[in-house]
Chains A and B, each alone.
Chain A
Amino acid sequence: MSGYRLPSGGAIDRSRPLSFSFDGRRYQGFAGDTLASALLANGVDVLGRSFKYHRPRGLFSAGVEEPNALVTLRPGARAEPNTRATVAELFDGLEATSQNRWPSLGFDVMALNGLAGPLLAAGFYYKTFMGPTRKAWMFYEHFIRKAAGLGAGTKLPDPDRYEEMNAFCDVLVAGAGPAGIMAALAAAGSGARVVLADEQAELGGSLRGGTLEVGGTTGEAWRRARLAELAALDNVTLLPRTTVYGYYDDNTLGAVERVADHLATPAEGQPRERHWTFRARQVVLACGAIERPIVFGDNDKPGVMLAEAGRLYVERHGVAPGRQVALFANNDGAYRSVAALSAAGVKTAAIVDARTEIGSAARRIAEASGAELLLGQVVTRARGGQHLSGIEVAAFDPDQGASARGHRQLGADCLLVSGGWTPTIHLASQAGGAARWDDALTAFLPGEALQPWRAAGACNGALGGAASLAEGAQAGAEAARACGFAPNPVALPALAEEPLATAPLPVWDARPPRGKGKAFVDLQHDVTASDVSLAHREGFRSVEHLKRYTTLGMATDQGKTSNMAGLALMARERKLSIPEVGTTRFRPPYTPVALGALAGQGIGAHFRPTRRTPLHDWHLAAGAEMMAAGIWERPRVYYRAGETLEQAYIREARQVRESVGLADVSTLGKIDVQGPDAAEFLNRVYSNGFLKLPEGKARYGLMLREDGLLWDDGTTWRLGEHRFLMTTTTANAAPVLSQLEFLLAAVWPELKVAVTSVTEQWAGIVLSGPRSRDVLTAAIDDIDMSNAAFPFMGVRQGHLDGLPVMVARLSFSGELAYEVYCDAHHGEAVWTRLLAAGKPFGIIPYGLEALGTLRIEKGHVAGPELDGRTTAEDLGLAAMVSTKKHFIGSAMFDREGLTDPGRLKLVGFVSADGGKIRPGAQLVAADDPANPPRSLGHITSTTYSPALEKYIALGLLEGGAERIGERLVATYPLKNIDVEVEVVSSHFFDPDGSRMHA
């Protein structure tokens, strides 16, 4: 219970109190608080339990780097686990709960893990439970995952909306601290389109709430004035609460704007988060830097936090981090926190600095604070129970990089730690060369820019305010210039003298040899200094291996406060310098991104678009069950009361064979092919001849791929000398059009042919059955329907109720059948007119299942047979492949592998034992189906045949027609289904075609 609200100060609105709860207890905070600052103000110091040892943990930072204070926000469907309390903006009614503890935060049974600490070193679980077999791990994993871990997500659907946004700009500035603001000002003044984005609730970075004098006023007032200037410009977009998380090719950057995360629920229509895809001509990376801690014994006690976090809680939120504060530092910059504490009336009891000399500004601050100044000393261990009560201090030997044994104890309820700063080079690393080591800063800086970006400010190593402002102004101007603008110089504000964090004394592990207490390198994953040593002893030398073996730097914080210490300790073990050990590469995202933000509107019904035929509404009204065919929705069957699926499609198919039915075939691909060379073009595209197709006739055509395998089939109708209507399968409509366009553009540019998709222009209705001619005769009066005047494969144009229609006499079902095409917007009118005309004949609509049944009975091939592995010969269509002309695929169709007599060939199957045959079943010899020697082929399409009154199937079989009469077993081991089948011809029904020619 050490933190408390200061009587004044902070950039919070004390007139707007907010009520919230943590683990069911109610507290009060103010507008401008984060959940972390509000909890600190209420003296709550244990916010979570650690990942592996379940040790109590408190606030460690005030930003995205937070490793400890992970909480679950909101209850119910909006519950969001693993949220950092340090970046969760407080709102009235916020409900937060702690994670990874049972039964409570104060008493956690799993803390016993801590006693078994030495056993639980890196790799413990794998070494112990992986066992001799994979099975052992499968068994234990469940329990291990339960014991370790983070929060649990909700299984309820997310009630909120997420959106995407595409944005284009000249200059994107990522980060709106001093450097980012100056960069935006410099670029915007030139007229360039500028976007300034920052992850925090307000733009300003370290200036937010800052009291340091900038341009004759406070940092806070200066940033407000500059942001107001930028906001007034039309060419500037300011995006607070927006994290640029990923840098991708072609200067594309991903960002997430938390539009309504700071509200209890989003307003109506408001997205919770918005994903931005930026396409920027130039980028300025002004991402700042993150303070790094120092490793010492029990350095995870609640009350130990980063020095900058202490300053921010005081200056930004008006909260004191403790009543008896100590500072442990190795650089002058940390003294800014002491100055902030002093200004707010918070006493600093002691300053422990590993250096023997400190800068003059730092010394002035130290003296003014009245703190005891302990130079050349380090904190070796933190003391206390669930909260820090004191620290142990000992002399430090910089040559050995370790402290002396023997120590002095000091009382403290808050220890601010600063081990220097780590520039935030994540985005630079994603779009740049290897990071560059800076010895003076003991830090990695951005490497070579491999895309048009430039870094400025703290992320570029400019850790002081003045340098940062100057670098920002320069980078902004250069970026604008690179876009062709002529920026004017912007004036740099004067800055009060400040202590700089630029030359930290390298102190990574402050413990004496064999020092006591757990010394954590990675707080979030409970990785200790001894784990790093163990990894080294076990031979994990590369930093990549170190990371994976110890899990250092993984999980939600991605090692933002631990990576540098981990590298340094590995370097110490290997007796190398840090740059020799190297660093891991940063990958997106910089901070966690909600999957909802990535999915955007593409969920549920919008996971992919739905395509509907002109008859869609009619099908629904008629009670059709719709099914997906690619992205199309097609009627599967039209149920009658009490029918099963099988009963329904059998009834529909039988009615077609006996009288007449109609079906919606609008989904077939339709391509308008026009031009003086149209016939020649088709002749090159199809494997069979098209030059001599007369006007008013249709022809079935096969398309091969260049490698000679079958690709697509369909009929093409000659509507005029230079005009054809090509139809394709539903699935290949778009690929065929693309291929035709490619051929015309790149292969035969000399051909004068235009191809256009008219799939959507026409509604397609097939009328099938012996009475189909009667129906059309009744409905259409200007086409002679007689067999002589309108023969099989004929195409005619006429009118139905004054609507123009095209009719083609084609048959997929094997019956006398006609396809009727009409303008799409009139599809429903033509359909209902045909239904009315067919009423005397008992006409019915039939769906996809019956369409399948009819074509399987007839032995017609479709998608399951045109599977990209079959040839025309395999499917009995060899006669369709011309040997007298060149066409796409002609060079390859007769190559060795495609003419191998051992290839699988199309045949029919009839269920011999009355069992239902499963598509995908393997065909095996009948003698011992449980141990078949090998597969002889497989089933492609199956149905119950009302014509044969048996289950039948099409399939591909070794030997093909030679095996007719043999008995085989169609086995489906996944479901233990074996059906005895007899091999028959694939033409089950009306093999001589007399019905469709009738």
Chain B
Amino acid sequence: MPDAISPLRGHNEARLAARGEAGVVLTERKLVSLVQVAAWPDTAEQVTDTVASLVGCAPPQLPSGSSGDAEGALLAIAPGRLLVESRDPQLAARLAEQIGPELGAVTDLGHARIAIRIAGPKAAWVLAKGLALDLNPAACPPMKVAQSAIHEVGVVLRRLSPDSFDLYVYRGFALSFWDWLTAAAAETGYRVDPPGSA
């Protein structure tokens, strides 16, 4: 099978663009599986529990939390809607087996998004240049998820720690967004780590 081609090919390779210490580190993460699960109003709880046990993590805190780690994670992106990431390439099929039409809908988005990690002491500062959300840790603690837009590009944002965030970006906008992001990070200096290293 031919290799999957990232829309950031030719742009996401490792480099340093900083005078001294880089304020942020940018990395395109490798998305093995990304699946959206939508439950019906009366099945939300059951679906969440089913997904959580299949992925092997706790249900996320509602209404806009997340759970899990790089092996498998659940992001609550809307009422009754989860974005599920996993290193299992068969995630979509496995979820569809367990969640039939009576419970909800399973949609593979593994090729529809790319994932970018932005980490470092200036991560929140750089994001705030385009994100009209309060990133103060009190308002946006680790594991918080938000659907928003950065410079007119829709993003799902997940805070991992005070200094690191994962951004899920529409594939077609990926390069345009990456250009914006690296321009926004020019002030603090940035480093790009090899794709898939975060």
Contact = CB atoms under 8 A, between A and B. Distances in A.
A171 B128 CA distance: 18
B108 A803 contact: no
Interface in A793-851: 801-803, 823-829
Contact of A824 (B107, B111, B188): B111
B120 interface: no
B187 A825 contact: no
A758 B172 CA distance: 11
Contact of B130 (A164, A605, A613, A829): A164
B186 A611 contact: no
A825 B4 CA distance: 5
A277 B132 contact: yes
Contact of B151 (A606, A614, A759, A829): A606
A610 interface: yes
Contacts of A721: 101
A754 B188 CA distance: 42
22 contacts: A163-B187, A268-B19, A601-B129, A601-B130, A606-B179, A609-B177, A609-B180, A612-B175, A616-B7, A617-B10, A674-B38, A752-B101, A754-B38, A754-B104, A758-B109, A758-B112, A760-B112, A760-B172, A761-B109, A823-B4, A823-B111, A825-B4
Contacts of A723: 101
B102 interface: yes
A759 B106 CA distance: 16
Q: Which 3 A-B pairs have the closest CB atoms?
A: A825-B4, A269-B186, A674-B105
B172 A168 contact: no
Contacts of A697: none
Nearest to B106: A674
A270 B187 contact: yes
Interface stretch (B54-62, B65-73, B133-141): B133-141
Nearest to A825: B4
Contacts of A827: 5
Contact of B4 (A161, A165, A754, A826): A826
B6 to A, nearest CB: 7
B107 A674 contact: yes
B43 to A, nearest CB: 9
A915 interface: no
A614 B105 contact: no
A803 to B, nearest CB: 6
A761 B172 contact: no
Interface of B: 1-2, 4-7, 9-10, 19, 36, 38, 40-41, 101-102, 104-113, 128-134, 136, 139, 151-153, 170-177, 179-180, 183-184, 186-189
Contacts of B174: 612
Interface residues of A, number: 55
A193 interface: yes
Contact of B111 (A605, A757, A761): A761
B171 A674 contact: no
B186 to A, nearest CB: 4
B101 A612 contact: no
Contact of A756 (B38, B101, B129): B38
B153 A756 contact: no
Of B105, B106, B153, chain A has the most CB atoms within 10 Å of the CB of: B105
Contact of A269 (B36, B41, B112, B189): B189
Contact of B171 (A167, A193, A609, A614): A614
Contacts of A760: 109, 111-113, 170-172
A27 interface: no
A754 B111 contact: no
B172 A611 contact: yes
Contacts of A674: 38, 101, 105-107
A361 B126 CA distance: 53
Nearest to A193: B136
Nearest to A830: B2
A601 B183 contact: yes
A601 B180 contact: yes
Nearest to A674: B105
A612 B107 contact: no
B151 A825 contact: no
Interface in A666-680: 672, 674-676
A825 B113 contact: no
Contacts of B173: 609-611
Contacts of B111: 760-762, 823-826
